[in-house]
Structure 1
Amino acid sequence: MLQRTQLQRLVATVAGLTLMMAACGSDDPEVGIGEGVAASTPVSTDETVPTTTAPASGGWIDGEPEWSGGAGDPKLAAESGVLEDASSTRAEPAPFEDRPIDPIDPVDRPVDTTPLRAGSVDDNADYQGFLDYLDRIKGLGVVTRNLDAAGRTIVNVVDEAGNPVPGAVVEASSSTLTRDGVPIKLRTTADGTVRFHPGFYGGSTDGTVDFGLGTGMSDMELVSAAAGQNITIVAPSTTIAAPVPLDVLFLLDATGSMGDEIDRLKQTIDTVADRVASLDPAPDVRFAMTLYRDEGDAFVTANYDFTSDVEQFRAALADVVADGGGDYPEALDEGLADALAKPTWRDPAEAIQLIFIVADAPPQVGRQVATPYTDSVVTAIERGIKIFPVASSESDDQAEAVFRQLAQATGAPFVFLSNGAGGAATGRSTDIASTDYEELALDELVVRLIAEELSALSGSEAGTVTAPTTVVSASTNPEGQ
């Protein structure tokens, strides 16, 4: 159930604008609890990706979206006194169904300016614990799309001096993986590593895989690894541009339940943008955003292209309105697919590329979509893009499980708000204890994560990127989780 401040904000901001519908599939009522939906097989593992090296000027791709309209959120309408009963149209998780309806009037109220605070955990640091968590969640009936994380191999690519080689193409092949003789292609992230999960590609999770370097280096010796074995490959050194090209995209759930946090997030991203531009040494940073809601809303996805103009990005973010979202799950599949395909990302061999997802609900895993998030994960790995999910208040077990799948697969930590109405934004069945993480202001944590990515390029403390601290750090952990 939405919080009072969220409802008041939404009622006060919703205006009667033109309806704009976008269809992306239909819900599948046949998928029940515990019935996972298998990922579709990626069509291609060609290393060629839709990117551009020319600086993007920003702006809404295909025009600025209509912010209000569509079927809207029947639950919100019921709480506002518009509908008498929305129970037949909303499939909200049990933890929220029993909360009483509390009708309110659209009155002026102070804006909540409390800084968002967050924690993070790295499931790659406790890989077996992550696998155990997934097994336990599945046993409880929590549904996700099929993304088999077993048999992971971490490939570490370094030069002769032992320095990481970012942006290197790694090829993986075996009798069960190659398609028409074409190996699976991966790309290393800033620290020179990439994670290979044979199950993502339909391969055996207990077999042997051969790894080598791509992009004209196929004559180099292959390294064989059994499933679960980590390896190191030596490659020619690379020259890192100065300043370092950095593309950061914010993928935002813009449905009604995010209203209160979208407003506070605007302040957070403002600070993040300013502080990333002030890193020492400063990167050549560009920002973009992709918004998503769900079918029946004024829009399903909307994309704002990359820009290096922080003021321009800030102005576009300020216009974002949270609205709609007819049921708990939202169009995360469609949003992530758009985020990878539509903005003008730079060449992945030359730029550090990061996606921060901020959401409070899982995707529509029972819906057949053109590009499920499992395929998008494969694309992100091919391009060396890390995905940092930030779970917001109201997140449940299903949302947490999906977010952690995305983060672990691409080598990023799972981030979650720690000061929501219900405490930390994790599911009731989480294995994350309050002692497992440090709590920081969200902007402080995001800037720290970005600085760590940039620092990883050198592989030594001499190349550490420092961030100006504007918010006092705190290690106070939330009580009870």
Structure 2
Amino acid sequence: MHTLWKKTVCGLLIQVLVGTQLALAASVVWPTPAPPRPVLQQVPPITPRPNFEAPSATHCQRGIETREVSDGLPRPVPFAMGPMLRKEMAPERATESDALRAPHPAPLAATPAAAAARSESKAMDAPASPFFGAEPRMAPAQPAQQNTAPVTAGMVDDNAAFSEYLAFRKRTQVAHRERDVRDRYLLEVTDTQGRGLPDAEVAVQSANGATTWLRTDAGGKGWIHPDAFDPGHSRFYDVTVRQGGMLTTATLQRGQKSAVEVHLTQARQPAPARLDLVFLVDATGSMGDEIDKLKSSLRSITDEVSRLPSHPDLCLGLVAYRDRGDDFFVRSHDLTNDINAFQGVLNALQAGGGGDEPEAMNEALNEAVHHISWRGEQTTRLLVLVADAPPHLDYGGPQYDDDMMAALGKGIKIMSVGASGLNKQGEYIQRQMAQYTGGRFIFLTYADASNPASGPGRETVHDVRNYSVQTLDKLVVRLVREELDKLPRS
């Protein structure tokens, strides 16, 4: 009887426990099972979705493709070229094939000579001006005039000297878009042998849903600034990393460590070096000297880059900008591997317009980050910004802080170059973009810091110290080499 009672009680307890478990299981919201997939199949996208598309172009073997962004202001349209100029002003890409189909001369934006003619149209007499119905002069692009005086520049790495950078931010009171970077953590993504994995996709998400994205640099590293994207100041963050179909997660806890190490169970594979190098250039009237120097030094830059030990597959792009009411607002030339054609486009670029000091840098950065055909995995992506004025913060369109965050998510490092005359606000904003994306702040130097006409030297008006000086072209090549040297070698 005693045994029977025990069996009965045990049976009742089991039924209660099973019932309880069933009730609990019914109350839990379980995730939908993922469909079966091969181990190396592409991992599903991480949600929530970022405000940018991942770089995915497979090549840059194209001719010059040009796109213009309109400022929305009306402009006179020449009678003979009306349809084509309207296409040029539309926010879409005009290709060389469009020019071949056109019954009239090619659109101004698609032809280097025409672009130069357009930028100089204010100096033309009335009968020759395209704004009075006659066709523009289509002279071939002239090579840039050679100026033997070198351009010298210094450079600071605000991530390496972070405390000095924070002190600079504290003492520099200028209008800017605030992103708090005081609390930061170094992310290191490595393979099974502890070697850095380049261009790995990373999502950092708090419990309240605040999320940011980044891609590791050529050495498998990147910076995470929680307060720049999470107004809730969460304590814990999920760090999700994926590459080549592999996915893993880690936890970032504030104040615990200064670095987060994530390991992917795959070997770092050597691959041919690929470099996407885009120049983002202020083309207003005060930038004439800097543009001429870039024209004359481009060939030496590309030649030296091609001779680097990694022998990178090089693509070049250009985004030029002015301001509202100028001959053009933002004009971009997509990435191409045709160096000679790119040199022709650059030669055709003339400085003009401007007026007030702020320029359309916000809109141009948005164009460079989101509309240039950046190549996909295993690519080193560098954006060289050359400007002597800050952006307009009052236009209400794209804002540089949003797009510097998108640049980090796409794996684009911004190397900002402060040209002569750059004021404190411009310096502050350029250094913001460079620091956040892991880039560098570069500044021109002179024999007399207050007089750019004094010639090359070591002096600068910028709030920097402990810097070395090189010619600008050598400095650009040095930065490219430092990035490419981090890549795995075959």
Structure 1 gaps of 5+ residues are: 1-42, 74-109, 465-481
Who is 1:99 aligned against? none
**Do structure 1's residue 399 and structure 2's residue 426 form an aligned pair?**
yes
Who is 1:473 aligned against? none
Deviations 1:242-283 (A, max 9, x none): 2x1111001111110001221122112221122112222311
Higher mean C-alpha deviation, range 219-228 or range 257-266? 219-228
SS at match of 2:268: coil
Deviations 1:146-165 (A, max 9, x none): 22212111101111222110
Give me the whole-angstrom Cα distance separating, in 2, the residues matched to 1:115 and 1:208: 50
- What do you get for the CA RMSD once the two structures are aligned? 2.8
Quick one: which amino acid aligns to residue 342 of structure 1? H
SS at match of 2:298: helix
Distance 1:71 1:366, change over 3 A: farther
Give me the whole-angstrom Cα distance separating, in 2, the residues matched to 1:72 and 1:427: 35
Alpha-carbon deviation of 1:362?
Answer: 0.7
Q: Structure 2 matches for 1:54-453, cutoff 5 A?
A: 54-62=59-67, 63=94, 64-65=108-109, 66-67=115-116, 112-138=147-173, 142-178=174-210, 183-204=211-232, 207-214=235-242, 220-226=248-254, 229-235=258-264, 236-242=266-272, 244-347=273-376, 349-369=377-397, 371-419=398-446, 422=451, 430-433=462-465, 436-453=466-483
The question of whether the paired residues in 1 share the 8 Å contact of 2:119 and 2:350 is answered with no
Quick one: which amino acid aligns to residue 478 of structure 2? R
Deviations 1:208-247 (A, max 9, x none): 32323136878634232316822211122332322x1111
Give me the whole-angstrom Cα distance separating, in 2, the residues matched to 1:204 and 1:144: 22
The question of whether the paired residues in 2 share the 8 Å contact of 1:72 and 1:326 is answered with no
SS at match of 1:333: helix
TM-score when scaled to structure 2? 0.70
Q: Indicate the structure with greater helix content.
A: 2
Distance 1:155 1:130, change over 3 A: same
Distance 1:241 1:50, change over 3 A: closer
SS at match of 1:367: coil
Quick one: which amino acid aligns to residue 396 of structure 2? Q
The question of whether the paired residues in 1 share the 8 Å contact of 2:202 and 2:241 is answered with yes
Give me the whole-angstrom Cα distance separating, in 1, the residues matched to 2:458 and 2:171: 19
Alpha-carbon deviation of 1:50?
Answer: 5.4
Give me the whole-angstrom Cα distance separating, in 2, the residues matched to 1:425 and 1:226: 41
Structure 2 gaps of 5+ residues are: 1-47, 68-93, 95-107, 110-114, 123-144
SS at match of 1:443: helix
Distance 1:422 1:272, change over 3 A: same
Give me the whole-angstrom Cα distance separating, in 1, the residues matched to 2:169 and 2:441: 14
Give me the whole-angstrom Cα distance separating, in 2, the residues matched to 1:267 and 1:392: 16
SS at match of 2:382: strand
Give me the whole-angstrom Cα distance separating, in 2, the residues matched to 1:72 and 1:408: 39
Quick one: which amino acid aligns to residue 475 of structure 2? L
Give me the whole-angstrom Cα distance separating, in 1, the residues matched to 2:233 and 2:154: 31
SS at match of 2:248: coil
The question of whether the paired residues in 1 share the 8 Å contact of 2:207 and 2:234 is answered with no
Give me the whole-angstrom Cα distance separating, in 1, the residues matched to 2:332 and 2:463: 35
Alpha-carbon deviation of 1:135?
Answer: 1.6
Give me the whole-angstrom Cα distance separating, in 1, the residues matched to 2:306 and 2:119: 38
Quick one: which amino acid aligns to residue 322 of structure 1? A
The question of whether the paired residues in 2 share the 8 Å contact of 1:157 and 1:192 is answered with yes
The question of whether the paired residues in 1 share the 8 Å contact of 2:287 and 2:351 is answered with yes
Distance 1:216 1:271, change over 3 A: closer
Distance 1:48 1:323, change over 3 A: closer
Percent identity for Structure 1 against Structure 2: 33
Alpha-carbon deviation of 1:129?
Answer: 2.0
Quick one: which amino acid aligns to residue 234 of structure 1? H
Give me the whole-angstrom Cα distance separating, in 2, the residues matched to 1:248 and 1:383: 14
Distance 1:175 1:56, change over 3 A: same
Quick one: which amino acid aligns to residue 344 of structure 1? S
Quick one: which amino acid aligns to residue 432 of structure 1? V
Aligned residues: 369
Quick one: which amino acid aligns to residue 161 of structure 1? Q
Task: Return the structure number with greater relative CO, CA threshold 8 A, min gap 6.
Answer: 1
Give me the whole-angstrom Cα distance separating, in 1, the residues matched to 2:229 and 2:270: 31
The question of whether the paired residues in 2 share the 8 Å contact of 1:274 and 1:310 is answered with no
The question of whether the paired residues in 1 share the 8 Å contact of 2:359 and 2:389 is answered with yes
The question of whether the paired residues in 2 share the 8 Å contact of 1:391 and 1:425 is answered with no
